[in-house]
Structure 1
Amino acid sequence: MDTSDIRDLAPGTAVHGKGKKRVRDILKVATEILAYEGYSKFTMRHIADRAGITLRNVQYYFKTKDILFQSVIEQRLKHDIESATKVIENHNLSAEDRFLAFVDNSLEENTTPFIRGLQFELWAQANHDAFAAKCRDHMTTVYSKFIYELIKPLTLGQSEKTRREKAVILLSMLQGFPLVEGSDIHIEFAIGNLRKLFRTEALIFVTSGAEP
């Protein structure tokens, strides 16, 4: 799948040897802080302390906190798209099985504490921060385009409009799943294997010829 919509991770930073490793180390620490400690702890100084380097060093590679925040989101986005692409690249599978493999992979990743923490922090921050909202919107657009391309073989008899709408709705379903699975609603409604039901209904939704 095409990842050309994903921006470079750390524009203007060193790209060779030690510089690359330092950027990776900073991004790793920053991502963990955002996921496990929340945006309130996502400060340049705290990230520097956790990485065992000076604040000046962090600022050399990432001039502002916004640039670092954007780079964390871009890195995660690129990882997710590449991970999903590997899952569906087996062309010995049918289009339907590749779609279900993508759904399974998404549900597995989205419900880990690490990914769930990242998503919750991004969406919460986007509610009252214009820059975070811009990052969220970019991420949503890239994911939607990926899903749009994925479901093409399953929606050949459907209009482009319907396919685009289904891509966005399916993304909404996948992102909302951790909230539901983490609650007791499926127990109250006597739903057994929620993931199995989700993948079945997702396939029916995508392949149905009806307008969403």
Structure 2
Amino acid sequence: MKQQKIDLTPEQTIRRLVDYMPDFYKTHKQFINCVEYLNHREWELALESLIELADETEHYFSEEFWFGLADSAEKMRLSDKADYCRKQIKKNEQHIKTTTPFGWTTIKYDDTLFQHHISEKLKEEWSTTRREKDNVHEFLTKEGVHLKSQGRSGFLYISEKGKIAEVEFELGINGLILYFNSLTNWSLPTKQILMADEKQKIKIDINNWALKTKNAIEFDD
């Protein structure tokens, strides 16, 4: 059975685009303006602010971003703005020749070098899906180091006193390469800053686990 597409109001569409905006843009004047206009129920001005955000940064926003703005502009009978938004979709096709996923933006340096900003909300949704797949909540009561892999990459889940920290890894030539530098927080049951002594203990726990299980590991720090 084909899933029916939800028809959103301009307010709902713009709020969704704001919710999934990468953090990189949240201090930009036009983003701040957009949030303020939303709070004052000024939908047209909020829409204009998002258009100006993309224009001023000269970054490539997702096709879904522009489709959403074009649809909202049409519903508000702003035909010129709707046409402009659709032109940005064609501009993406011509300039970067690839699709930018929703919640992402693309920065083009040259024909071979691109950079992306990704929504933190989107990343958290990915993490939630991954944790559910890995049954991570089961580890809250099972202290120690737990490995879950998906092919050549995965996560170590370190459980201690009802809290879980996560360390991403990939399979290298000599064993597991652990991205330990990026570990800054306990992930569950709530996100909490990891203290320096806690991080050091986690490193010791991982080393002890590796010796016990005969897993070759390499820290990136």
TM bin (shorter chain): under 0.3
Larger helix fraction of residues: 1
Larger-gyration structure (1/2): 2
Question: Which TM-score applies when normalising by structure 2?
Answer: 0.27
Higher RCO, 1 or 2 (CA under 8 Å, sep at least 6)? 1
Using the size of structure 1 for normalisation, the TM-score is: 0.28
